[in-house]
Amino acid sequence: MVGGIVMNNASGMNCGTHANSDKMLLSARIVFVDGTILDTGSDISKQEFLLRHAGFITQIQTLRDLIRTDEELSARIRYKYSIKNVTGLNLLPFIAFDDPFDIITHLMVGSEGTLAFLSEVTMKTEYDYPHKASAMLYFSDIKEACRAVVAMKKLTNEKDEWIVKGAELLDWKSLASVNDSTGEGLTAVLTETKAHSKEELAQNITAIEETLASFNTYIPVRFTDKPEEYSKYWAIRSGIFPSVGGTRQPGTTCLIEDVAFHIEDLPEATAELQQLIARHGYDDACIYGHALEGNYHFIINQSFSTDAEVKRYEELMNDVKTLVVDKYDGSLKAEHGTGRNMAPFVKYEWGEKAYEIMKAVKALFDPQNLLNPGVIFNDDPLCHIKNFKPLPLTNPHVDKCIECGFCEVNCLTCGFTLSSRQRIVLRREISRLKQNGNDPNASPLYKNNTVTPETRLAPETAFVQCPVPWVSTQAT
């Protein structure tokens, strides 16, 4: 949903830091915790706000000036946001904008519902180039693949536009998860270029091929501008998450992490991340994502059923923190939001001064800590290893479901009654209650409902076909 996208500062395959939610946002209609409504796209609304909440505006200006007079902090903020970063609250607006209303608008971005409710946004749109081509590049060595990405990122045309618009890395585990049979142990980089005209597209492809000539590719570089061909590459890329999730051990949780490195660090950092994950024994984990922006996701299928498994996860996260923050000064979260998982590490990544500013912003917007408590700001240093969402076994037909929600856009019953995913969530909850010796009919979920969970959920036919091919062959 648009609210969630802006609240996470989501971006995507082509957006980087130049066209993420923050860069595309023009104005917002904000509902504050006390019910005050501010539409930063309306002069009348801004004047009213100024009359009634002059103190709020003054405090925003004070924080802005405090940051700007501190050169070290200002430089740190600029450096941190030179790559994707959604760890903590968004501090960039204090540097990027003078107007307090612009600052308020952009403070919303990435705030994950911790500051106010967003009921409307006005955003710019990106130009959709009419001519596109993609190539699946294969490398025998992951470092070589990253070096090629670093080289491709530097390519620009005479208008000073980037030639390569997207470069998505898929490590060999990712390729294996979608049954790619090109070769053993390869790394792929799905590369995309776009142009205003056919001639420009051809020039772009030539420039990329010339750059890649000095790299060791496993098979010859071949771009295609045929949508029926390149859409298959992109379908492979989109299928990684559900495919890895669909093949996990029943009862484990599919976790997706989201780190970013500065592009010059990519070759070393990627190889080290791969070794780190292997060192912790996550044999089926894979690394993939937006390499052009130094932003990787890695997926692990984690059990939380024993203390030993929770410990293993904790140790992994501590090592990730050391690698990303201490060694490479990168982002622990790039586009998925801090949540509770990274809340204990916000201060660690940003340092004391920046963290204090974030806390001051939170206190200004939500003095009673009513909005999404525990998200982004959490005093419990171990909150990331507590209160795990359980995924109890419930039915072989649905145990593979990772609750990704891809089916909901096509779900006939979503919004009318429960969606397929919601049915699965409730079935799991019923199983969890039963396994713990509780009566699901006594659950607060049903206390005002004359329909019992069984009558709502019993028929197997209640589940629609899962649209994710890799999952659907084995699951719902």
Ligand X SMILES: Cc1cc2nc3c(=O)[nH]c(=O)nc-3n(C[C@H](O)[C@H](O)[C@H](O)COP(=O)(O)OP(=O)(O)OC[C@H]3O[C@@H](n4cnc5c(N)ncnc54)[C@H](O)[C@@H]3O)c2cc1C
Site residues, ligand X (CB under 6 A)? 1, 3-5, 7-8, 10-12, 112-113, 117-118, 241, 335-337, 372, 375, 404
Q: Could you give the 3-state DSSP secondary structure of residue 259?
A: strand
Which range binds ligand SF4 by CB under 6 A, 363-371, 389-397, 431-439, 465-473?
465-473
Smallest CA-to-CA distance from 104 within 282, 361, 331 is with 361
Q: Could you give the 3-state DSSP secondary structure of residue 300?
A: strand
Strand 295-302 relative to strand 253-260: parallel, antiparallel, unpaired?
antiparallel
Cβ neighbour number for residue 202 with a 10 Å cutoff: 15
Total residues at interface with ligand SF4 (CB under 6 A): 15
In the 8-state DSSP scheme, what is residue 327? Answer: I
Minimum distance, C-beta of residue 230 to ligand SF4, in the bound complex (Å): 24
Q: Which does 329 bind (CB under 5 to 8 A by kind): ligand SF4, ligand X, none?
A: none
Phi, psi for residue 303 in degrees, rounded to 5: -95, 140
> Angle of helix 54-69 relative to helix 352-365, nearest 10 degrees?
170
Among 404, 414, 445, 462, binds ligand SF4 (CB under 6 A): 404
Q: Which does 476 bind (CB under 5 to 8 A by kind): ligand X, ligand SF4, none?
A: ligand SF4
Q: Does 254 bind ligand SF4 (CB under 6 A)?
A: no
Smallest CA-to-CA distance from 309 within 270, 257, 255, 259 is with 255
| Residues contacting residue 467 through CB under 8 Å, at least 6 positions apart | 406, 407, 410
Check: CB of residue 90 under 8 Å from CB of residue 365.
no
Q: Does 255 bind ligand SF4 (CB under 6 A)?
A: no
Check: CB of residue 223 under 8 Å from CB of residue 165.
no
* Cα 264 from Cα 96, distance rounded (Å): 25
Q: Does 457 bind ligand SF4 (CB under 6 A)?
A: no
Q: Does 40 bind ligand SF4 (CB under 6 A)?
A: no
Minimum distance, C-beta of residue 328 to ligand X, in the bound complex (Å): 20
Which range binds ligand SF4 by CB under 6 A, 8-16, 88-96, 150-158, 397-405?
397-405
Minimum distance, C-beta of residue 127 to ligand X, in the bound complex (Å): 19
Among 354, 407, 433, 457, binds ligand SF4 (CB under 6 A): 407
Among 290, 421, 423, 428, binds ligand SF4 (CB under 6 A): 421
- Compute CA distances 295 → 44, 270, 384, whole Å: 41, 10, 21
Q: Which is nearer to ligand SF4, 347 or 400 (CB)?
A: 400
Q: Which is nearer to ligand SF4, 156 or 473 (CB)?
A: 473
* Cα 362 from Cα 370, distance rounded (Å): 10
Q: Which is nearer to ligand X, 91 or 244 (CB)?
A: 244
Q: Which does 118 bind (CB under 5 to 8 A by kind): ligand X, ligand SF4, none?
A: ligand X
Tokens at residue 148, please? Answer: 């090629």
Q: Does 402 bind ligand SF4 (CB under 6 A)?
A: yes
Which range binds ligand SF4 by CB under 6 A, 205-213, 329-337, 369-377, 402-410?
402-410
Q: Which is nearer to ligand SF4, 438 or 474 (CB)?
A: 474
Smallest CA-to-CA distance from 337 within 116, 112, 114, 6 is with 112
Among 113, 251, 390, 467, binds ligand SF4 (CB under 6 A): 467
Using CB under 6 A as the criterion, which residues of the chain lie in contact with ligand SF4 when the complex forms? 242, 401-407, 420-421, 466-468, 471, 476
